[in-house]
Amino acid sequence: MRYPIAIETGTDTTAYGVVVPDLPGCFSAGDTMDEAVANAEAAVIAWIESALDQGQDIPHPTSLEGIRAMPEYHDWAYGLITVDPAALDTTIERVNITIPRRVLFRLDKRAKEEGETRSGMIAKLALC
């Protein structure tokens, strides 16, 4: 999946700004265009993960031409950010892991203290 981005060109004294119009509030910046776009890629993943955690739907991307037609981005540059579909996949998958018993003991103890299952605790820790 590819999300279009609008890039506000930086100067010697200001950073480049990047907005992802399809994802309200999703933006980034950087001292160089490459840095701003890389930061935008991370912002998109964080936005999507947050929305999924809150049970929200993920908006479908607008076409690049659709973003270019928006008057608020008239003099901006444009690009695309590719989102790995795995970032959107909420399918439950059974996995087999190998960890030392002492770590498993601590994991189970913490899960019990927080009212979680072992799997739930692993997922919770991975999402922190």
Per-residue pLDDT of 79-125, as tens digits, reads: 999 988 887 787 888 999 999 999 999 999 999 999 999 999 998 88
Q: Are residues 60 and 113 in the same domain?
A: no
Rg, C-alpha atoms of the chain: 19
Question: Does this model's pTM top 0.75?
Answer: no
In this structure, the answer to whether residues 84 and 96 fall within a common structural domain is no
Q: Does position 128 have pLDDT exceeding 80, yes or no? A: no
Torsion of CA 29, 31, 35, 37, to 10 degrees: 40
Range of the domain at 97: 92-128
pLDDT at res. 29: 95
Same domain, 62 and 98: no
Residue 55 shares a structural domain with residue 113: no
Examine the domain organization and report whether 56 and 98 are in the same domain: no
Tens digit of pLDDT for each residue in 4-62? 999 998 788 889 999 999 999 999 999 999 999 999 999 999 999 899 889 898 999 99
Tell me, yes or no, whether 97 and 82 share the same domain.
no
Q: Are residues 46 and 70 in the same domain?
A: yes
For every residue of 29-54, DSSP letters joined together read EESSHHHHHHHHHHHHHHHHHHHHHT
Q: Residue 80's pLDDT is what?
A: 94
Provide the domain count of the chain. 2
84, 104: one domain: no
